[in-house]
């Protein structure tokens, strides 16, 4: 069973907790129930501005509070959602809930609120011609300025878009930011970066966590240099250790995310962090 945080009934998702779900033949039907029956919720992981006193942003990460099995990890149900097409309604729910939550933080905390909420989207969502309309509606319904929403997609999702990659241009014209997630893990070519309409790269955690000599070890510096030349923002993902944080800061990284700073957390916990930003682990003042 998932651990309860406070008295809210909010369940913390712990990786690997609900492995049994993956084998269930009825998973698709259960997932449909989860989406339309209110069993999904979002956690938010801070993205830390290394040189400032507030959250640069938060990434919304979906969780499933399964009635029998407790918290189920997205690695177990996102692939099923993609196969069954349920990713489209699931993704729309995530988008709207994340916008609603940021708008609520802005009302509560004003300038202390996270600058941006980052939402993961799959290729299948983006491939739908009405995706920009869904985004526009979510922003309008919650009164959120477009620049406070970032859409995260992986390189393989971007490639899968093919000609529909113009969808990203539509989003950017609206003022929504686009971020390339897990950067460096797919077999992409650098020409992709040259042509892809994105605002930000997220350096995959595998490059942050391996301390290696030789060619592999230069990736954080090389990708940072690349981002600067192309004029993109960059976030280092998966920072777990103080020495990783120090290395990245020394290289010139200004934004980072990872368990070293903060784990994915409930909206109430984000609120507590906003009120006391110094409690972000690993912050230097």
Q: Which residues bind ligand C2E (CB under 6 A)?
A: 45, 61-62, 73-75, 78, 91, 94, 120-122, 152, 181-182, 205, 238-240, 257-259, 264
Contact window for Mg ion (CB under 5 A) among 32-40, 89-97, 116-124, 191-199? 116-124
Mask 117-136, x = binds Mg ion (CB under 5 A)?
Answer: ---x----------------
Q: How far is the CB of 110 from ligand C2E (least distance, A)?
A: 27
- The SS3 call for residue 274 is helix
Quickly tell me which residue has 């971007």 as its tokens.
Answer: 158
Give the footprint of Mg ion on residues 158-197 (CB under 5 A).
181-182
CB 80 within 8 A of CB 31: yes
- The SS3 call for residue 72 is strand
Closest to ligand C2E by CB, 94 vs 138, is 94
Element housing 256 (H / E): strand 255-256
Contact window for Mg ion (CB under 5 A) among 85-93, 152-160, 223-231, 256-264? 152-160
Instruction: Give CA–CA dist 87/80, Å, rounded.
Output: 8
Q: How far is the CB of 275 from Mg ion (least distance, A)?
A: 26
Closest to ligand C2E by CB, 70 vs 258, is 258
Element housing 65 (H / E): strand 55-66
Instruction: Give CA–CA dist 94/180, Å, rounded.
Output: 18
CB 65 within 8 A of CB 110: no
Q: How far is the CB of 84 from ligand C2E (least distance, A)?
A: 13
Closest to Mg ion by CB, 30 vs 154, is 154
Mask 227-266, x = binds Mg ion (CB under 5 A)?
Answer: ----------x-----------------------------
Instruction: Give CA–CA dist 106/94, Å, rounded.
Output: 18
Cα–Cα distances in angstroms (integers) from residue 63 to residues 90, 220, 254, in the given order: 11, 30, 28
- Chain contacts with Mg ion (rule: CB under 5 A): 120, 152, 181-182, 237
């Amino acid at each position: 069973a998932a651990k309860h945080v406070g008295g809210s009934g909010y369940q913390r998702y712990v990786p690997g907790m609900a492995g049994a779900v993956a084998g269930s033949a009825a998973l698709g039907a259960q997932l449909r129930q989860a989406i339309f029956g209110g069993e999904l919720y979002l956690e938010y992981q801070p993205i830390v501005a290394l040189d400032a006193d507030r959250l640069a942003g938060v990434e919304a990460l979906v969780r499933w509070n399964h009635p029998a099995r407790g918290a189920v990890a997205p690695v177990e149900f996102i692939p099923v959602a993609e196969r069954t097409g349920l990713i489209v309604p699931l993704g729309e729910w995530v988008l709207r809930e994340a916008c609603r939550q940021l708008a609520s933080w802005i009302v509560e905390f004003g300038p202390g609120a996270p600058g941006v909420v980052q939402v993961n989207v799959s290729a299948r969502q983006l491939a739908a011609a009405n995706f920009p309309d869904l985004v526009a509606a979510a922003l309008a319904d919650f009164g959120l300025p477009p620049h406070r929403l970032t859409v995260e997609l992986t390189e393989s999702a971007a490639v899968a878009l093919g000609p529909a990659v113009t969808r990203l241009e539509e989003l950017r014209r609206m003022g929504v930011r686009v971020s390339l997630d897990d950067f460096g893990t797919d077999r992409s070519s650098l020409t992709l970066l040259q042509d892809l309409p994105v605002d930000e790269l997220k350096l995959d955690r595998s490059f942050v966590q391996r301390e290696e000599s030789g060619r592999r070890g230069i990736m954080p510096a090389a990708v940072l240099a690349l981002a600067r030349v192309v004029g993109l923002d960059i976030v280092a993902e998966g920072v777990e250790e103080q020495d990783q944080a120090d290395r990245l800061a020394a290289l010139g990284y200004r934004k980072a995310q990872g368990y070293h700073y903060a784990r994915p957390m409930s909206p109430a916990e984000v609120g507590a962090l906003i009120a006391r930003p110094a409690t972000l682990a690993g912050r230097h003042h």
